[in-house]
Chain A
Amino acid sequence: MIRLQNIEKVYRTDTIETLALNSVSLDVAKGEFLSIMGPSGCGKSTLLNIMGLLDVPSKGSIKIADRVTENLNDKQLAQFRNKTLGFIFQSYHLINDLQVLDNVELPLLYRDTTAKERKMLATEALEKVGLANRVKHFPTQLSGGQRQRVAIARAIVGKPDIILADEPTGNLDSAMGNEIMDILINLNRNEGTTIVMVTHDENMAHKTHRLVRLFDGSQVQ
């Protein structure tokens, strides 16, 4: 589903060059739930961003859903992300000015859908994360766990093949973290969604199919 080959990422400023990723190669199979671990600054998030086509590698090639993505322009990239990828972030990144339902509908805005379809799909996604009764709330009226569930609903509303989760439980206590984890596991099991998750939490990582460890930009396991 995802194939990374010899990915290198270098950050350059006027005086220093930082090697964030050093020749990382990774294959993620369809339907796999993979977790990436490693200390802070080891390049986990950079790797995830590259997989999510939010960042470009300095070297190496990426293939996602059998598609080479290097030569896509801004619009094509946007469309590709919209159809194939769903994101979950540590700090949720919900739009506080919009109600829960509008937040969840967001990915559908960039597709050919009617308002009615959007509402239906978003409600469906919210039901899956158990928040069907919170559609009219604003994100600030929800707890951290609930917010992350809204974020998951937003990530799955467009039925993407791949979900990329950057420390989805990082801001939550363990009970809430487990809840979120259960939702992700069910999603992977029942819908066959491929999930790549970056985490600091060994317990969470062990619940996934496979664990990849990074250290100083290199893959160590």
Chain B
Amino acid sequence: MLKNYFKIAIAVLRRRKFFTFISLFGISFTLTILMVLTAFIDKVVGDNYPDKKRDRLLYINRIQQKGKDNMTSGTLSYYFLSHYTGMMKTPVKVAISSGFSGTNTYVNNKKIAVSYKYTNAEFWDVMDYDFTEGRPFNKQQVDNADHVAIISEDMKRQYFGDVDLVVGKYIEADNVSYRVLGVVKNVPVTSYMFFSDIYLPYTVSKADYKSKSYGGSYMGVLLAASKDDVPKMQTEYENLMKRVPVESKDYQHLYSHAKSFFTSYVDTGNEDTSGVFIVITAISIFVFIFMLLPTLNLVNINITRIMERSSEIGVRKAFGASSKTLVYQFIVENLILTLLGGIIGTLLSVIALCAINSADLIANLELTINFTVLFIALLVCLVFGFLSGVYPAWRMSKLNVVTALKAQ
């Protein structure tokens, strides 16, 4: 039976080359876009470099204070993070680092754009950066405000060129020289909490890290001893924040949360709007509309395609096919078409991802096809095939045999 369906499906596809082309193009093109999108999301959300211990981590990257007429929201000050997380009992370690900022440096009169961020020493224990050479700076070096730096592989190549080892050499940024202590593998810029070209001790920062104001440019990551301690750690932070006084009498409320990776990644910094909700809704709407158009198009093409075969439908019914059997046949045919589109789409996606990677649109972001993406793509294909096949098949199966046979 299936073999028979397959035969006729292929025959029909070959007979109507233009329809087939339009259908396949629609499916594979849509699929390619979705695959690139999922690859992107997958990379951004799913890739856990350098925060490999994600299931034991909570991220603090916002503080919001709200009054009747005033509202302030943003990243936190070094003082706030170290002072308050210092009071906590559950975290075994707390990584504190600033967001990355940009500056320029010059090598052989060539300008290089450089981003740098400040971290504390524990940052290197909480995070699992892969060191290709050297080591991180320690607490003593931070306390001494030593001019030392960890740089990314990318930075090493740009600044020093093709050399083996750079530990001990000096790198200049913002007119200050730093001694390179270590080199780490690149982090994509989409991982904005951890991306940088140069990592420096926070004590060398020109900004006053001792300032007691709440707002600043820092974010914190709490490390729990085990996965089971994470909820406790979260509650502890919540309770702690309830006791923290607001900064001035302009404000009545203070909010700051320790969140899981995804929630913190899309945090809007506003207590009333959930970033997770916005992101998921936006993606869903986009995917829905993006899939709706080709599906409608396919439904249309399918109706024409199927109605053209009304004689066949009539004959099959006359010789004993029930409506259900026919619906099944046309859905199978459609699934064959969409799976074909799926295969082409997958190939196109590989090409598209390679093109995106080689064009280097986003620093250090290497998109790859992985099994999650492939699985999603396959699922999308099946949904496509099903959606675009069901309605025409159902309509066609309702066709009266006599009318169907006359239509030729």
**Residues of A that sit less than 8 Å from B by CB:** 49, 52, 54-55, 74-75, 77-79, 81-83, 85-87, 89, 91, 93-95, 97-98, 102, 105-107, 109-111, 115, 154, 158
Contacts and interface: CB of A to CB of B under 8 A. Distances in A.
B321 A78 contact: yes
Contact of B4 (A93, A94, A102, A158): A102
Contact of A75 (B3, B7, B319, B322): B322
B11 interface: yes
Contacts of A94: 315
Contacts of A77: 322
B325 interface: yes
Given A54-B402, A55-B402, A93-B314, A110 B320 contact: yes
A110 B325 contact: yes
Interface in B302-331: 311-312, 314-325
Interface string B214-250: 0000000000000000000000000000000000000
Contacts of B312: 95
Nearest to B13: A97
Contact of B320 (A89, A107, A115): A107
A74 B318 CA distance: 12
Contacts of B314: 93
A49, A55, A107, A109 pick with most chain B CB within 10 angstroms: A109
30 contacts: A54-B317, A54-B405, A55-B400, A55-B402, A77-B322, A78-B320, A78-B321, A78-B323, A78-B325, A79-B322, A81-B318, A81-B320, A83-B320, A87-B315, A89-B405, A91-B408, A93-B315, A93-B405, A95-B315, A97-B8, A97-B11, A97-B15, A102-B4, A105-B4, A107-B319, A107-B320, A109-B4, A110-B319, A110-B321, A110-B322
Contacts of A97: 8, 11-12, 15
B408 A93 contact: yes
B348 interface: no
Nearest to B321: A110
B176 interface: no
B1 interface: yes
A34 B12 CA distance: 38
A95 B12 CA distance: 11
B401 interface: yes
Of A54, A85, A86, most B-chain CB atoms within 10 Å: A54
A79 B318 CA distance: 10
A148 to B, nearest CB: 14
A107 to B, nearest CB: 4
B323 A74 contact: yes
Contacts of B401: 49, 54-55
Contacts of B402: 49, 54-55
Nearest to B10: A97
B313 to A, nearest CB: 10
A75 B324 contact: yes
A154 B402 CA distance: 19
B321 to A, nearest CB: 5
Q: Which 4 A-B pairs have the closest CB atoms?
A: A82-B320, A97-B11, A78-B322, A110-B320
